[in-house]
Amino acid sequence: MNLSRLALTLTLLPSGHLLADTFERDQALKLPDVVISANRQVEARNDSSAANTVFTREDIDRLQPDSVTDLLRRVPGVQVAQTGGRGSLPGIYIRGTQSAQSLVLVDGQRIGSSTSGDSNLQHINIDQVERVEVLRGSRSAIYGSDAIGGVIQIFTRRGGEQGLQPRLHVGFGSNQTWERSLGLSGGDEKTRFNLGASLDETAGINRTHESFASDGDHDEYRNKSFSLSLSHALTDDIEVGTNVLDNRGKSEFDNPFGRFDMTTFESVPQQPYSDFNVSGVSSYVDARVNDLWKTRIEIGHSENREKTLDKLSDERTVFNTYRDSLNWQNDLKLDERNSLILGGDWYEDRVNSSTAFDEDSRWNRAAFIQHRFKADSFSTELGLRHDDNQQFGSQNTWSGTLTLPLNPSNDLLLSYSEGFRAPTFNDLYYPDFSNPDLKPETSKSYELQWRSQLSESSRLEASLYRTDLEDAIIFGSNSRPENVASARINGFEAALKQELFGWQSDLGLAIIDPRDRDTGHTLARRARRTLSWDLDRQFDRLGLGASWQAVSSSYDDLNNQQPLGGYALFGLRSSWELNRETRLELKVDNLLDKGYSRTLYSFDGNQYGYREEGRAWMFGVTWTPEP
């Protein structure tokens, strides 16, 4: 079955139907109108209850992003706050929630640090990515902890079905930035594979305004990445496979506060850097038991390691976290109108750190079930998940959706979902700054979605939602975390995709009102309004594109005393097909050289902000010789 036939089949089949073809998921990863992350199964995007955005490899090649976070800026309802250019730690706020309140997966595996809660998405090399799916709104009934704001899933590159396909990319740009990658993919009717490696290097920028003379240097970044995917059909009904992704390198950064010297009781300068490693490996068995039952078993291991050192001292800290996991899901088609998803999850987190935690491991096991019913005039989805955690005990989460097709071109969806986030090891066990009695953060969300096929070439998706957060964890006056905060987030978001006079337009808008329910203050670093617009057209061999992103003002602190100005960024891109094998690319980001910062810090009574990269250009050559 070719890709066009698969897309048509998915569009016509009822929700929850399972395809019988070998390599179903590998083929679906290349299609824009399907989604996998919402229910861990291939389904048409319009059949999913989750508000979702999908970037395929074709989108990535067209948009020419330099990172996964660059892609995420284009998603309505998602805000990204960098702290100093390439390789810096981003804050990712989905529908006004914090970074740690959204789940990040790579090929189905959790990659977030179990100590800090950070996902370290900045280290995932974009050239090793086949597809990115973003779900907005809680999916805890399917995934459990962390999926309050939403889910981001990254799929690594996949192989094709015809012979061998090598590829080579070399790019050079501002700040002595080099991009180098090579890969080889291929397959036949039984086996598919993809093998890729990348090396990105940049001299970087000075990430902060000077507080010490040592902060005046540029902060270099180096990232080596490797990926492997391999799948094999043992029979027409059984497929096995494995996926590997490894990103490692060095990232320099600034510490504007310096290091506190216990002998002089003064702050002394630093030149810190970190050696990082973000990696994951998973293996699976997909089996069709019969026409009504399909099962998938997946085992995985992920690591999030970071060693921080200082060029001016022998200071050294280590925070390494490891996660083993086992997932089992069963997809059952009960009849033409009813389908069922049921399964179980288990994972164990372990910590190996230079800091002595009171506890350094914990397990979580869960069971989940979801029923879907589809009639001519409406459809429903009802899900329940039960988590049992070694540290905080049990947690139940519910979700439900009612879908009303107004006509063949318009659907209304009304949803309720619950979510929770388990406290991290830092929250629970960090010496002198933790609280082992913390409870999970919880949420309740209500959403109304409208999906409309305005014309053959125009589609509008809009959402109106409210999220209530309870038992949110903040640091109290005793410098220990407490379950004392609550928040209310109201929001509206819309995505308009259309083609007009040969131009492809993607417009995303989000308006949110995120407030602390106790003080009435706006939540820190959440802009109330964001707008993203991408415009592209292909003229035979020449491709032209432009991006515009606008972010309104916000506050850097909970008391709303430190305002952050709004900003708008404009970029241009182009490509030229020299022949069927060679493609030239040129882009300029932040064309107007706008200076902006989304975080502040104070030193010696003065207020500073992290610098972001100004005008930056990149030229690249991609060679894909024909097999």
**The pLDDT of residue 260 is above 80:** no
Residues 6+ apart with CB under 8 A from 238: 285, 286, 287, 288
Kindly indicate the confidence band of residue 595, based on its pLDDT and cuts at 50, 70 and 90. Answer: confident
More confident residue, 12 or 291: 291
Contact of 89 with 81, CB cutoff 8 Å: no
More confident residue, 476 or 250: 250
More confident residue, 129 or 87: 129
Kindly indicate the confidence band of residue 22, based on its pLDDT and cuts at 50, 70 and 90. Answer: low
**The pLDDT of residue 611 is above 60:** yes
pLDDT (0 to 100) of residue 605? 61
Q: Which helix (H) or strand (E) holds 68?
A: helix 68-72
| Alpha-carbon span 69 to 132, nearest angstrom | 11
- CA–chain centroid gap for 44, Å, is 20
Classify 488 in phi/psi space as left (phi over 0), alpha (psi -120 to 50) or beta: beta
| Alpha-carbon span 141 to 383, nearest angstrom | 6
- CA–chain centroid gap for 404, Å, is 30
Kindly indicate the confidence band of residue 268, based on its pLDDT and cuts at 50, 70 and 90. Answer: confident
Compute how many other C-beta atoms are within 10 angstroms of the C-beta atom of residue 352: 14
Hey, which residues does 421 pair with through a beta bridge?
A: 441
**The pLDDT of residue 477 is above 90:** no
- The winner for highest mean pLDDT among 83-97, 166-180, 310-324 is 166-180
Domains of the chain: 3-623 (2.40.170.20)
pLDDT in tens, 335-390: 999 999 999 999 999 999 999 999 999 999 999 999 999 999 999 999 999 999 99
Give percent above pLDDT 90 in the chain. 75
Helix, strand or coil for residue 9? helix
Compute how many other C-beta atoms are within 10 angstroms of the C-beta atom of residue 478: 9
What does the pLDDT average to over 457-468? Answer: 97
Please report the DSSP string for 16-54 in residue order.
Answer: T----STTHHHHHTT-TTEESTTTTS-EEGGG-SSEEEE
pLDDT (0 to 100) of residue 558? 85
Residues 6+ apart with CB under 8 A from 10: 19, 28, 31, 33, 34, 42, 43, 44
Average pLDDT, the chain: 90
**The pLDDT of residue 400 is above 50:** yes
**The pLDDT of residue 536 is above 60:** yes
Query: Structure tokens of 468?
Result: 């209530």
More confident residue, 207 or 395: 395
More confident residue, 216 or 542: 542
**The pLDDT of residue 5 is above 50:** no
- Residue with the two structure tokens 């329910």: 517
Poorest-confidence range of 193-202, 251-260, 275-284, 325-334?
251-260
- Residue with the two structure tokens 């589609």: 459
Kindly indicate the confidence band of residue 453, based on its pLDDT and cuts at 50, 70 and 90. Answer: very high
For 175-204, the three-class secondary structure string (H helix, E strand, C coil) is: CCEEEEEEEEEEECCCEEEEEEEEEEEECC
Burial of 86 (0-12, 13-18, 19+ CB in 10 A): buried
Compute how many other C-beta atoms are within 10 angstroms of the C-beta atom of residue 290: 8
What does the pLDDT average to over 41-46? Answer: 93
Residues 6+ apart with CB under 8 A from 599: 81, 83, 91, 525, 556, 564, 609, 610
pLDDT (0 to 100) of residue 392? 83
Contact of 524 with 487, CB cutoff 8 Å: no
Kindly indicate the confidence band of residue 603, based on its pLDDT and cuts at 50, 70 and 90. Answer: low
pLDDT in tens, 292-315: 999 999 999 999 999 999 988 888
Report the length, in residues, of the chain: 627
Contact of 596 with 525, CB cutoff 8 Å: no
pLDDT in tens, 165-220: 999 999 999 999 999 999 999 988 899 999 999 999 999 888 887 666 666 778 89
What does the pLDDT average to over 455-463? Answer: 95
pLDDT in tens, 102-125: 999 999 999 989 999 888 999 999
pLDDT (0 to 100) of residue 6? 43
